[in-house]
C-alpha cells in the first residue's frame, strides 16, 4: 500500500503542474515516464513555495515558508511526508542525488521575496535569479543526466543560462503584477530608471544572449529530455518575440501570452525537429 501512496503523491504534483502551467506540463508529457514523474515533483515543490510568497496575502507568509522548509527536511530525513508534494519531491531528491545547495538557494530566493522589494544591483538580481530559476534548471538536469556526473558538469553552465532566460522572460511577462500588486522590481535597471523602450531592449538583449548560450546544451541532452526542453525553449522564445514587439508602456498594463494555436504549432515544430534529428 505504500506504493499506492507514492503513486498518489506524484499524481498530486502532476495535478499542480497541469493546473498552474499548461505549457510546461505539455513539455513534460514528452519525457520518458520515470523522468516525467520526477520533473512533475520538482515543479510541484517550487510551485507551492512560490504560491506562499506570491499569493497567500492573508496569512503569515514567513511562518508558512519556514514550516514548508522544515517539513521538507523532515520528509528527507524520515523518508515520508503526509504532504504528498513534499513526499514526491524528497523521493526525487534522494533518487537523483539532487544537491542540497540547490534547494537551499531556491528557498533563500523565496525568502528574498518576503523581505526585499527592489533589486538595486546586478549582483542582487543575479543572486535572486540563480536561486529562483537557475537552480531549478540544475535540479532538472540532475534528473535528465541520471547519475552521469560528467554530463551534468558539461551542461551545468548551459542549464543555468536557460533557467535565467526563462525567469527573465517571466519577469517581463509579469511586469504589471510584480510592480503594481507585489511591489517588486527584479531588474536593477528599472529601480534606477523609468521602464521605457531602451531599458526593455537592453533586458531583451541580455535574454537573447542567454538563449543563444543555452542552445548548445539542449542539443547534448540525452533521450527524450532533449525534446521536452526544446518544447519549452521554443515557447519561451516565441513569448520573448511577442514581448519584444509590445511597447514598454503596454507591458506595464497587460500580461503577454502566447495563443494556444501557436503553442500547438511550436509543439509540432519541436517534435519534427527532434524526430528528423535536426537539433
Instruction: Determine the pLDDT at residue 191.
Output: 85
pLDDT at 1 over 80: no
Across all residues in the chain, what is the average pLDDT?
95
For residue 100, how many other CB atoms are within 10 A of its CB? Answer: 10
Of 278 and 31, more confident: 31
Mean pLDDT of 160-183: 95
Contact 68, 46 (CB under 8 A): no
pTM for this prediction: 0.95
The mean per-residue pLDDT over the stretch 63-73 comes to 98
Give the whole-angstrom CA distance, residue 45 versus residue 171: 20
C-alpha cell at 58: 492573508
CB 199 within 8 A of CB 193: yes
Distance separating alpha carbons of residues 207 and 172, to the nearest angstrom: 11
The pLDDT-based confidence of 239 (bands split at 50, 70, 90) is very high
Domain boundaries, the chain: 2-275
Angstrom distance (rounded) from CA 116 to CA 32: 39
Dist CA 58 CA 238 (whole Å): 36
Q: How far from 248 is each of 199, 212, 241, 244, CA to CA, in Å?
A: 9, 23, 13, 9
Is 2-275 in CATH node 1.10.600.10?
Answer: yes
Amino acid at each position: 500500500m505504500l506504493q499506492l501512496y507514492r503513486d498518489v503523491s506524484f499524481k498530486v504534483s502532476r495535478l499542480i503542474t497541469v493546473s498552474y502551467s499548461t505549457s510546461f506540463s505539455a513539455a513534460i508529457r514528452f519525457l520518458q515516464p520515470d523522468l516525467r514523474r520526477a520533473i512533475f515533483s520538482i515543479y510541484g515543490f517550487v510551485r507551492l513555495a512560490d504560491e506562499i510568497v506570491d499569493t497567500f496575502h492573508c496569512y503569515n507568509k514567513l511562518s508558512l515558508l519556514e514550516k514548508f522548509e522544515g517539513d521538507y527536511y523532515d520528509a528527507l530525513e524520515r523518508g515520508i511526508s503526509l504532504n504528498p508534494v513534499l513526499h514526491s519531491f524528497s523521493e526525487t531528491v534522494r533518487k537523483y542525488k539532487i544537491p542540497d545547495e540547490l534547494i537551499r538557494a531556491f528557498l533563500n530566493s523565496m525568502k528574498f521575496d518576503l523581505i526585499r522589494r527592489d533589486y538595486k544591483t546586478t549582483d542582487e538580481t543575479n543572486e535572486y535569479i540563480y536561486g529562483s530559476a537557475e537552480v531549478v534548471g540544475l535540479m532538472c538536469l540532475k534528473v535528465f543526466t541520471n547519475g552521469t556526473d560528467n554530463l551534468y558538469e558539461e551542461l551545468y553552465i548551459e542549464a543555468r543560462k536557460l533557467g535565467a532566460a526563462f525567469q527573465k522572460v517571466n519577469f517581463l511577462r509579469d511586469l504589471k503584477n510584480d510592480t503594481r500588486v507585489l511591489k517588486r522590481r527584479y531588474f536593477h535597471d528599472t529601480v534606477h530608471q523609468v521602464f521605457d523602450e531602451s531599458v526593455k531592449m537592453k533586458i531583451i538583449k541580455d535574454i537573447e544572449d542567454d538563449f543563444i548560450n543555452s542552445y548548445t546544451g539542449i542539443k547534448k541532452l540525452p533521450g527524450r529530455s532533449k525534446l521536452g526542453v526544446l518544447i519549452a525553449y521554443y515557447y519561451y522564445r516565441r513569448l520573448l518575440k511577442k514581448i519584444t514587439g509590445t511597447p514598454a508602456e503596454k507591458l506595464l498594463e497587460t500580461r503577454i501570452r502566447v495563443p494556444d494555436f501557436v503553442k500547438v504549432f511550436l509543439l509540432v515544430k519541436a517534435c519534427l525537429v527532434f524526430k528528423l534529428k535536426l537539433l
